[in-house]
Structure 1
Amino acid sequence: MPSVPSAGRAPARRLVCLSIAAALAGAAVPAFAATGTWDEAYAGLAPDGADRATRLDGVEVTGDRVDGPSSVKYTEPLLDTPQTITVVDRQTMDQQGLLSLNDILSTLPGITFGAGEGGGGYGDSINLRGFNANADITVDGVRDAAQYSRTDNFNLESLELVNGANSVHSGAGAVGGNINLVSKAAQLAEFHQLQLGAGSDDYGRATVDSNWVLGDGEALRLNAMVHRNDVPGRDHERFERWGVAPSFGFNLDGDTRLTLSAFVQRDDNVPQYGVPYFPLVGGLPAGARMDAYYGYRNVDTQEVDADIATAVLEHDFSDAATLRSLLRWSDISQHLIVNPPQGTFCTVDGINPATGGACTGGLLPGQYQPSGPRGTLRDTDTTQLASQTDLVVDFSTGGVEHALVAGVSLNREDYALDNGNVQRNADGSTPVYPVMDLADPDNVYTGPLNYIRSGRTEGSLDTTALYVFDTLKFSGRWHVNLGARWENVDGDLRVRTFAADGTVTADTRFETDEDLFSWRAGVVFKPAAQGTIYLAWSNALVPSRAAANGSCTALTCATDPEESGLVELGTKWELLDGHLALTASAFRNERENYRVRAWDPVSGLEIEQQNDGRARVDGVSLGLAGNLGERWSVFANATWLDSEVLQGVSDECLANPGTGACGNTPADPDPTRGDRIENTPERAASLWTTYAVSDAWTIGYGITYQGSFNGGRGAYPDVPSYTTHRAMVAWQAGDRLTLQLNIDNLTDAEYFTRVRNNGWATPGEARSVTLTANWLF
């Protein structure tokens, strides 16, 4: 939830520069203007539209330029920040029709998606530069660690993707980086926008964004949304949701400012568990269909309730000193029942796709027998109370200028999970599921429905952090960027299991208390005012439980924190009089001591896991963003990632291969050594470009390439690469009305976005068409 833009910061903090990969462009839907009228903002659609400014809670946009990350911890503009940060702004989301968090991230290279089941349950599961980032999502700089699906961007101003080990900024975790969502905030400008959309696959959407200036320095902004659609190319999968997000700003143009914000969203979805997938037979088994639903559509459900309230108080002591304090409460609950497409399969060729041999279980060609965790219920609730206070000061010592940020963060998370199964006989036994047609599965459940609870998990996590950042400017050419963070993570976890009759079969408790110290250092050299060359180092620390919903066992709770390190060499340049950004970086992100299985040669049992695992990602990142003239804009990114597992078992298992619980043998003492890290494509690239063919017409085209990657099935073939295309045409029908046509997956390519290593995968969405009317009133 947003804070109020600071009106009194020093001008040096508002130097205009380009984002590393800011999503810039002449657009069909205008960016919001912080000053002036909506007519003036709308004029930005024309190639010769007047320069205009937008303040995005710390990100100042002037014309086609983006100043810096929204967090006050970043003391300098992006041009002078020694880190790879990609900003996707509101304009680009609207141009491409990107709605969910996964939609936005799927257009950025270096990111893949997992099944999202482990730990906290089904929801957004993100791999960033080869490392899990599920708990590394922040909203306005505050951790949003609940595991759920972030399906809509109606209250987002921008998304910031921070690449590389980054615990010093975002807190425990952030091995590969973190994702920050910047919320909309009340502004001192009167504007009103209504969007109505319709399209294929029963797509319907309506949003409103209205901002009223109520008086001297006071404003109210209201965002609301209602949406539904079937998933393109999939039978019976759907999304339905509504949301509302008010924001009140008081004394926005004064020295003391207060913003009160709320966010409410309700989702009623059918979860996407996809289709059977077996790498041994090339993915989809022969006879199975990409559009078929292999669960039970009358049982499967995902219901998400998100309630968030935020207060932000800011006070300018002077042009050089500001105090900012944020307080947030959130409650995220999810009710989930799923039937993953698991079981025994027989292809139309008479092959068992799991083994490559003959079919088993009496199945005939083209049949499958459902089994596994079908009818699984997970009710989760995550509440959070967070406080974050920052003091931002500019000062000089001798001939050195300082931009200092000092802060304290307090965070409390509470998590509860009830899990069990609803498709059970009254005595708790599993019903026998009927054999089904592989091509036309019977996805309506007619068996017994009795909820049998199997477990209850309750956990809490208290986090206290102190941090300081300083940018030292020794001259116009040399800057040094420093940061340090001390953090204590103190948590408890209670796990109970139940028999079918409700009696408790196990009741275990775990506690964690860990101190973490993370840091960052960067040296910036400016050979010219419009360019920088930098070298940066940082680390990331992952405790036993980085979030309240994180799992913790007797084998993992007492281990030391995992550590990762980053070294990055990069350069950033503003070209064409500041209208185009060109960036490049080379980096090494090394996970130095992650937890792996260990074995006690005396007892012959698995013991507390050891921090002996090592993995490394070497990479290159390229970005180009901005305007190539008055009519043509471009936003392009590419990554090359060379990932490798350096050690995948403990030192004890290496010394005693074949005798413990590590799955290794004397002939192969470390089976995963040398493998690519799971879900890490070697090559990935994306491009979005628009061209204003006239004052009234704008066209856009995008392409995304995702290279093949290791799906976690050992020596099995990789998940195949894929390429998707998208297109946009926008027509300015009048002073206040724009019509925009989007076509996604233009060639109707078939591909998979996430692969589960036990036999199923989620297909990418098929071709879809939407038409959106944008009315300013």
Structure 2
Amino acid sequence: MQEIHHDEQIEVGQGSSRRRSSTFLALSCVGLIAAPTVAQEAASEEPGSRRLGGVTVTDTAIDESYDRKESSSVKFTQPLLDTPKSVTVIPREVIEDRGFTSLVDILRTTPGITLGSGEGGTPMGDRPLVRGYESATDMQIDGLRSVGRFSHEVYNLESVEVVKGPGGALNGRGSTGGAINLVTKTPHADDFVVLRATLGTDETKRITADINHQLSEGIAVRLNVMGHDADVAGRDALKVSRWGFSPSIAFGLGSPLRATLAYSYLKTDDIPDFGHPFQNSGTTSPLKLKRNNFYGFANRDFRETEGHFGSAILEYDLTESITLRNATRLVRTTNEYIVSRPSFNTTTATPETGRVLIDFRSANILTEGFLNQTDLRGKFNTGGIEHSFIAGVEYSKEKQRSRPAWAQAAGAVPLLQSLHDPDPYAAFNPLVKTPFTTPAVPIKHKTMAAFLFDTLSLSEQFQINLGIRYDDYKVSDGTRTAKNDFWNYQAGLVYKPLPNGSIYLSYGTSSNPSGECAGMAGGAEGAGACTLNNNNVNLKPERARSWELGTKWDLFDEQLSLTAAVFQTKKSNARATDPITGTVQLIGNNRVRGFEFGVSGNITPEWNIFGGYTYLNAKLIDDGTGANAGNKIKFVAPHSFSVWTTYKITPEFDIGGGVNYTGKRYVNDANTQWFKPYARIDATIGYKVSDNLDLRLNVQNLTNKLYYDASHVGIFANVAPGRSALLTANLHY
């Protein structure tokens, strides 16, 4: 048996699982040493909520409500109640109360979102589908596009905002089903320290520190650090290790001129997992296998990522009602892996023979990006009509270089594993490193855009929301270049029968040009959707259009928010392969109709609730060949439901729990393979030991339900974690 020493051979993302323990210990010591020093200087009062420079910020220690009234995005010109769009904000309080440690934890429990899987050509990383459409490249960090495929942590997040429906006017290319914005923590004009230490089943060890200190009047610094090391609940041999730190500094807090500089670093070192094989004949769901069956090689497989994220935000209040802002981000991420793929063939590896064919996928991906947005926002009146507006320009350059990282050595033979009793430490074929002299496949994106949004308040009851964006977009792979310019629009009418309620009707568009994955129905990999080739280089962008009718209400003294909406998104010029010519044409047609309901906030001061339900009728009207016409779009659950609630029995003691339900999902266009519906139950108990210390016990997947997160065209099924228990001590000053 040969062990792959990948820490010695990787060009980028240096590191090894053998350094997990020392890294975790070192990071723990940093947090524990820093805490007393800052705590000694901390102010006696706890930090609170305040509004700085037109942006609402909420601290880490006092606001326990699950409700949010505003989006962090400057492009939203009104509070959420008066925004004619479905927006789900998952706040830090929900993330912490549920014991979530990754973005995937959040997304798998959000109605209307399902997950897709990477493999080889589709890189491994966070891959959400919002309202039935690929949204992996529609993710943002503080309102600017997140570059490349990455796995995101939560330690430095204040909230996660899911903006649903076509958002081309808001976000540019893609955004057919919606966009996901990660809102990071920023410095406050306060002093506080929050230390969180977690121990749990499956060798889980995690520590985070959130330290904020006001250096002087108007200047504050904040540092978030994290170390995490664990196995995967219910799975053999798998490891998850990561650490990161995020320092930031703010100048001019509370003054007309403000600046925030931030940097974030995240390093991961895991053993990746493609789960269980699908039976590949007939009408089928995944085989009934033991949850812990791992069909990879623990001494060979690895996934290492490294991310550097730097940002600078400058704001200047020209007047009391007009603000000029510039936001810049620099990004560099690496993603390298070897992962085993279990599958069947027609001879040696079948369910009947009890054997599984194990091949591998690998990639070495370097992504770099520069993004800049300059905008002017504020309010003014014309003829008795109040305008809340934002106008701006964007410029971005993104570059991705990808190559296979490893190849089979000469004389390699097919690898087989036992279907029912695989050995994670079995011998494997030697692999050879792909030389870095081998040219990588370059993909370069360049965008220049301009946008304008305006909300016209005609009266106390009526508002009109308008938005427009123009994009000049170019993508190149070194051989071919595609240039497209396109307009996107949004319009909404809001009627407020009462100050605490609204009814709205809205319309929006999106554009998905060649070379851009976002906006594909069901994460379709066909027709060259994510690559630039001779088939699609001259095609115009796909276009999607959506209508939405909804209502929003703030009840119980505006402590509880209820939302509901019906909607339709339709794409009538989707890319598809013409069966006559064999070329890719804009002849596909797909549609998603649905309904959703959401709730967040407090029923009583002691009773928190957060959740919702989404129904999606996702239909593949025409795939070009007609073979799958009328079928359901793959990866999309028609029914998804989630509710989480906590109740304070006494001021010191609270209990809570929740259930997530995801309905049947097809994993291929022919609708012959699927995942069965599942319901997952979580529970929590919290106890406040003192004003500075509280404890929380989380049990996730209480019934140890076996279910699957995702698939990749029906070859394998990613197994979700089993039951786990986590005990967290939260120390704050």
Give the alignment's TM-score, normalised by structure 1: 0.84
Shift of 1:160: 0.2
Aligned pair in 2 of structure 1 residues 434, 586: CA closer, same or farther (>3 Å)?
closer
Please, which of 440, 455, 468 is the counterpart of residue 452 of structure 2? 468
Secondary structure at 1:628 match in 2: strand
Which residue matches 1:322? Answer: 323
Query: What are the residue-to-residue correspondences of 1:761-776 with 2, within 5 Å?
Result: 761-776=717-732
Which residue matches 1:718? Answer: 674
Shift of 1:124: 1.2
Is 1:447 equivalent to 2:429 in the alignment? yes
Query: What are the residue-to-residue correspondences of 1:386-465 with 2, within 5 Å?
Result: 386-425=371-410, 431-444=412-425, 445-452=427-434, 456-465=440-449
Q: Which amino acid aligns with 1:531?
A: G
Query: What are the residue-to-residue correspondences of 1:33-182 with 2, within 5 Å?
Result: 41=46, 58-59=55-56, 64=65, 65-117=67-119, 119-150=121-152, 152-182=153-183
Q: Which amino acid aligns with 1:86?
A: T
Which residue matches 1:645? Answer: 620
Shift of 1:120: 4.8
How many Å separate the matches in 2 of 1:257 and 1:113? 38
Shift of 1:41: 4.3
Alpha-carbon displacement from aligned partner over 1:323-352 (angstroms, at most 9, x marks no partner): 1101110101111111111243xxxxxxx7
Secondary structure at 2:97 match in 1: helix
Say whether the 8 Å CA contact 2:513–2:542 is kept in structure 1: yes
How many Å separate the matches in 2 of 1:544 and 1:690? 46
Aligned pair in 2 of structure 1 residues 680, 59: CA closer, same or farther (>3 Å)?
farther
Q: Which amino acid aligns with 1:571?
A: T
Alpha-carbon displacement from aligned partner over 1:567-590 (angstroms, at most 9, x marks no partner): 000011111111111111111111
Q: Which amino acid aligns with 1:387?
A: N
Shift of 1:546: 2.7
Aligned pair in 2 of structure 1 residues 713, 397: CA closer, same or farther (>3 Å)?
closer
Secondary structure at 1:91 match in 2: helix
Q: Which amino acid aligns with 2:395?
A: L
Which residue matches 2:573? Answer: 593
Secondary structure at 1:341 match in 2: strand
Secondary structure at 1:385 match in 2: strand
Shift of 1:443: 2.9
Which residue matches 1:31? Answer: none
Shift of 1:39: 6.5
How many Å separate the matches in 1 of 2:141 and 2:352? 50
Which residue matches 1:734? Answer: 690
Aligned residues: 674
Aligned pair in 2 of structure 1 residues 634, 291: CA closer, same or farther (>3 Å)?
same
How many Å separate the matches in 2 of 1:558 and 1:211? 52
Aligned pair in 2 of structure 1 residues 433, 387: CA closer, same or farther (>3 Å)?
same
Secondary structure at 1:555 match in 2: coil
Which residue matches 2:236? Answer: 235
Is 1:583 equivalent to 2:563 in the alignment? yes
Aligned-residue RMSD, C-alpha: 2.2
Query: What are the residue-to-residue correspondences of 1:408-557 with 2, within 5 Å?
Result: 408-425=393-410, 431-444=412-425, 445-452=427-434, 456-494=440-478, 509-546=479-516, 550-557=530-537
Aligned pair in 2 of structure 1 residues 536, 238: CA closer, same or farther (>3 Å)?
same
Please, which of 554, 557, 560 is the counterpart of residue 574 of structure 1? 554
Which residue matches 2:22? Answer: none
How many Å separate the matches in 2 of 1:412 and 1:303? 24
Q: Which amino acid aligns with 1:760?
A: F
Secondary structure at 1:716 match in 2: coil
Say whether the 8 Å CA contact 1:52–1:63 is kept in structure 2: no
Say whether the 8 Å CA contact 2:355–2:419 is kept in structure 1: yes
Is 1:200 equivalent to 2:197 in the alignment? no
Q: Which amino acid aligns with 1:247?
A: S
How many Å separate the matches in 2 of 1:121 and 1:189? 41
Q: Which amino acid aligns with 1:130?
A: G
**Larger mean Cα displacement after TM superposition, 123-132 or 212-221:** 123-132
Say whether the 8 Å CA contact 1:56–1:70 is kept in structure 2: no
Say whether the 8 Å CA contact 1:87–1:161 is kept in structure 2: yes
Say whether the 8 Å CA contact 1:274–1:294 is kept in structure 2: yes
Alpha-carbon displacement from aligned partner over 1:127-165 (angstroms, at most 9, x marks no partner): 111111111000001001301222x10110000000100
Say whether the 8 Å CA contact 2:564–2:596 is kept in structure 1: yes
How many Å separate the matches in 1 of 2:699 and 2:145? 34
Query: What are the residue-to-residue correspondences of 1:189-338 with 2, within 5 Å?
Result: 189-278=190-279, 280=282, 282-285=284-287, 288-338=289-339
Aligned pair in 2 of structure 1 residues 337, 434: CA closer, same or farther (>3 Å)?
closer
Say whether the 8 Å CA contact 1:375–1:422 is kept in structure 2: no
Shift of 1:59: 3.7
How many Å separate the matches in 2 of 1:578 and 1:435? 60
Q: Which amino acid aligns with 1:730?
A: G
Alpha-carbon displacement from aligned partner over 1:626-654 (angstroms, at most 9, x marks no partner): 111121111120011111111110xxxxx
Say whether the 8 Å CA contact 1:85–1:163 is kept in structure 2: yes
Q: Which amino acid aligns with 2:55?
A: G
Aligned pair in 2 of structure 1 residues 41, 277: CA closer, same or farther (>3 Å)?
farther
Say whether the 8 Å CA contact 1:419–1:455 is kept in structure 2: no
Which residue matches 1:361? Answer: 348
Alpha-carbon displacement from aligned partner over 1:716-744 (angstroms, at most 9, x marks no partner): 25310000000010100011000100000
How many Å separate the matches in 2 of 1:638 and 1:364? 37
How many Å separate the matches in 1 of 2:610 and 2:51? 19
Which residue matches 1:755? Answer: 711
Say whether the 8 Å CA contact 2:634–2:669 is kept in structure 1: no
Q: Which amino acid aligns with 1:700?
A: G
How many Å separate the matches in 2 of 1:435 and 1:245? 44
Shift of 1:289: 2.7
How many Å separate the matches in 2 of 1:396 and 1:519? 23
How many Å separate the matches in 1 of 2:578 and 2:286? 36
Say whether the 8 Å CA contact 2:415–2:428 is kept in structure 1: no
Is 1:680 equivalent to 2:636 in the alignment? yes
Alpha-carbon displacement from aligned partner over 1:640-688 (angstroms, at most 9, x marks no partner): 1111111110xxxxxxxxxxxx5xxxxxxx1111111111111111000
How many Å separate the matches in 2 of 1:290 and 1:728? 24
Say whether the 8 Å CA contact 1:406–1:468 is kept in structure 2: yes
Aligned pair in 2 of structure 1 residues 672, 434: CA closer, same or farther (>3 Å)?
closer
Which residue matches 1:370? Answer: 357
How many Å separate the matches in 2 of 1:56 and 1:606? 55
Say whether the 8 Å CA contact 2:120–2:363 is kept in structure 1: no
How many Å separate the matches in 1 of 2:356 and 2:552? 56
Give the alignment's TM-score, normalised by structure 2: 0.88
Is 1:616 equivalent to 2:597 in the alignment? no
Alpha-carbon displacement from aligned partner over 1:535-559 (angstroms, at most 9, x marks no partner): 0000000011237994111111111
How many Å separate the matches in 2 of 1:362 and 1:253? 66
Answer with 1 or 2: which has the greater Rg: 1
Aligned pair in 2 of structure 1 residues 398, 63: CA closer, same or farther (>3 Å)?
farther
Shift of 1:369: 4.7
How many Å separate the matches in 1 of 2:255 and 2:351? 76
Alpha-carbon displacement from aligned partner over 1:700-728 (angstroms, at most 9, x marks no partner): 11110001121116242531000000001
Shift of 1:489: 0.6
% same residue: 32
How many Å separate the matches in 2 of 1:596 and 1:437? 39
How many Å separate the matches in 2 of 1:57 and 1:370? 57
How many Å separate the matches in 2 of 1:56 and 1:196? 33
Secondary structure at 1:606 match in 2: coil
Which residue matches 1:606? Answer: 582
Alpha-carbon displacement from aligned partner over 1:364-386 (angstroms, at most 9, x marks no partner): 95531525xx3432100010001
Secondary structure at 1:476 match in 2: coil
Aligned pair in 2 of structure 1 residues 55, 635: CA closer, same or farther (>3 Å)?
farther
Q: Would you identify which runs of 4 or more consecutive aligned residues in structure 1 move more than 6 Å?
A: 36-39, 54-57
Aligned pair in 2 of structure 1 residues 202, 74: CA closer, same or farther (>3 Å)?
same
